[in-house]
Structure 1
Amino acid sequence: MGLIVDIVRSRELPDRQAAQERIEETFRAIADVVDFVRPLWPTVGDEFQAVFADLSGALMATTMGRLLLPEQIDCRFGLGAGEIQDVGEGATGPIQDGSAWWCARDAINEAHRREKAANPYLRSWFISADRPAEDGVINSYLLMRDHLISAMKPRERRVTAGSLLGQPQAEIAGAEGITQSAVSQSLRRSGGAALLAGHYAMQEPGTS
C-alpha cells in the first residue's frame, strides 16, 4: 500500500520549514502506534511518501495525521493499493515504482480535483490496482471521515485522537482541563464518536 502526501496550500504557510518539521514529527509519533513498512519520508517539494502492509494501517495513519496536525497545517492523501518494487537506490533509501504508486498518484490528483470542484473538505482518495470493486466503499468512508474532521475544532480533534488511541476518557479530560462528561459530549457533538465507530468497523474481517 503506497501513500503520497502533499501539503495543502504550502506556498501560503508563513514558515514552510517549520511545517515540514511538524509533519515529520507527527508521523514519527504515529509510527509508534501504526505499523509502517516504510515510515513517512520527504520526496520533492511539498510531498512525502510512506508504505504500509495493508489498507487498515494507511487509514489509521491518515486519520491520525489529520487529527494531530495543527489547523494551519493541512495535508492531502493519495492511497494506492497494488505492487511496489525497488528499482534502484537513492540518497534516502530505495527508489520504488509499481502499480501502488501509480494508483496513489492518481488518487491524490483525484482528491485535489474533487476538493476544488464540489467537496472542499475532502483531503483523501483511494484507488486500487488489484481490487477496484472496493474503491467506492473505501472512498465513501473517506468522504465522511474528511467531512467530520474538517468541521472539528482543535480540541475536538485532540479528544477524538486520544479516543482513537485508546486513552481513557478520564485521562483525556485531565489533559484538556475538562470533565469526563465534557469529553463524552465532545465526541457526540463533533461526530468523533461516529468516526471512531467507522474506524472500528473498517477493521472487521473482509473490509481491508
Structure 2
Amino acid sequence: MAKDVAAVALLGDLVGSRTTERTRLHEAVVAAAEDVNLGVASLSPLTTTVGDELQGVYPTLGAALEAAFSLRLALAPRWEVRFGLGGGELRVIDAERGIQDGSAWWSAREALEWVEEQAGRKGYASARTAIRDGREQATPQADAMVRLVDASLARLRDGGIGTLSGMWDGLDNAETAKREGISDSANSQRVINNDLRPLLDAMRALTTLP
C-alpha cells in the first residue's frame, strides 16, 4: 500500500461475543474472514484484532460494504456483527508492523461507536452499519441506505437468512435449497415471502459505490 491513499476503512465488532462459546466463535470468525478475503479485493485484508474486532481497508465503499455483507451473512444467524465504515485518508505509520493512521480510521471508529449507541434507541434496534465518508466521491445517501438493509435483515428468520446467503453466494434455487436441506419449492417460497430479490438487488447495488 502507498504511504498515503484515499480509502475506506472497515471496523467490525462482534455483538454479544462475551456471552457465547469463545473458541467456536473465534474459529467461525477467522474462517469467515478468510472467505471474505478470497472474494473481495482489499488494500489490507480483513483480520481479527483485540477486543472482538475485525478490520480491513478497501479501495471503494462498495468493496467495503461487500466485505461487511459477506461477513455478516456468513456468521448469521448465530452471531451478529456491527460495522463502522470510514472514507478518507489512510497513512501507513509502520509498514513492517502494519500500523496505520488517518481520517479513514478515525471516521470508521466514529461510525462504529455511533452504531453501538444508536442501536440502543427505540426504533433503531436493527442498526448494525454506519458510514462516515469524507472523500470527494462519497455518496451521502449511502449511510441511510445501509440501515434499510439492516432493517430488512433484522426481520428475516433463520431460514430466510440461509436462503439469502445462498443467493448472495451466487447459488441458484436448487443449489440453495440443497444447502438448506429443503425442497426447491420451499426455498422459492422463502424468496417470495421475504422479498429477498429486491433486498439482494439493493445489497448488490451498494457494492458498486465508488
Asked if TM exceeds 0.5, the reply is yes
For 1:169, the equivalent position in structure 2 comes to 173
Equivalence for 1:201:
205
CA distance in structure 2 between the aligned counterparts of 1:53 and 1:132, rounded to whole angstroms: 12
Residue 130 of structure 1 pairs with residue 125 of structure 2: no
Q: Does 1:121 align with 2:126?
A: yes
Residue by residue over 1:30-73, the C-alpha shift from the partner in whole angstroms, topping out at 9 and shown as x without a partner, is 22222122222222211121111111111111112221204332
Give the superposition deviation at 1:89.
4.6
Q: 1:5 aligns with which of 12, 30, 37?
A: 12
CA RMSD of aligned residues (A): 1.9
Where does structure 1 differ by over 3 angstroms across 4 or more consecutive aligned residues? none
Counterpart among 57, 71, 84 of residue 51 in structure 1:
57
State the match for 2:66 in structure 1: 60
**Alpha-carbon deviation of 1:20?**
2.0
- Tell me the distance in 2 between the aligned counterparts of 1:194 and 1:185: 15
Distance 1:50 1:153 in 2: 29
Give the residue type in structure 2 aligned to 1:106.
E
Aligned to 2:38: 32
Q: How do 1:88-127 and structure 2 match up within 5 A?
A: 88-89=94-95, 93-118=97-122, 119-127=124-132
| Distance in 2 of aligned mates of 1:127 and 1:171 | 37
Q: Helix, strand or coil: the match of 1:130?
A: coil
Q: Secondary structure at the match of 1:31?
A: helix
Preserved contact between residue 91 and residue 101 of structure 2 (Cα < 8 Å): yes
CA deviation profile, 1:122-145 (whole Å, cap 9, x unmatched): 11100012249623x112221111
Gaps of 5+ in 2: 1-7
- State the partner residue of 2:84: 78
Structure 1 unaligned segments of length 5 or more: list them.
none
- Does the 8 Å contact 1:76/1:111 carry over to 2? yes
1:188 equivalent to 2:184? Answer no
Are the counterparts in 2 of residues 68 and 158 from structure 1 also a CA contact under 8 Å? no
Amino acid in structure 1 at the alignment position of 2:10: L
Q: Which amino acid aligns with 1:198?
A: A
Change (3 A) 1:42 1:159: same
Figure out how many residues of one structure are paired with residues of the other and give that number: 202
CA contact (8 A) 2:68 2:83 kept: yes
Structure with greater contact order relative to length (CA < 8 Å, sep ≥ 6): 2
Residues 12 and 132 (structure 1 numbering): CA distance in 2 closer, same or farther, change over 3 Å?
A: farther
* 1:203–1:10 Cα change, 3 Å: closer
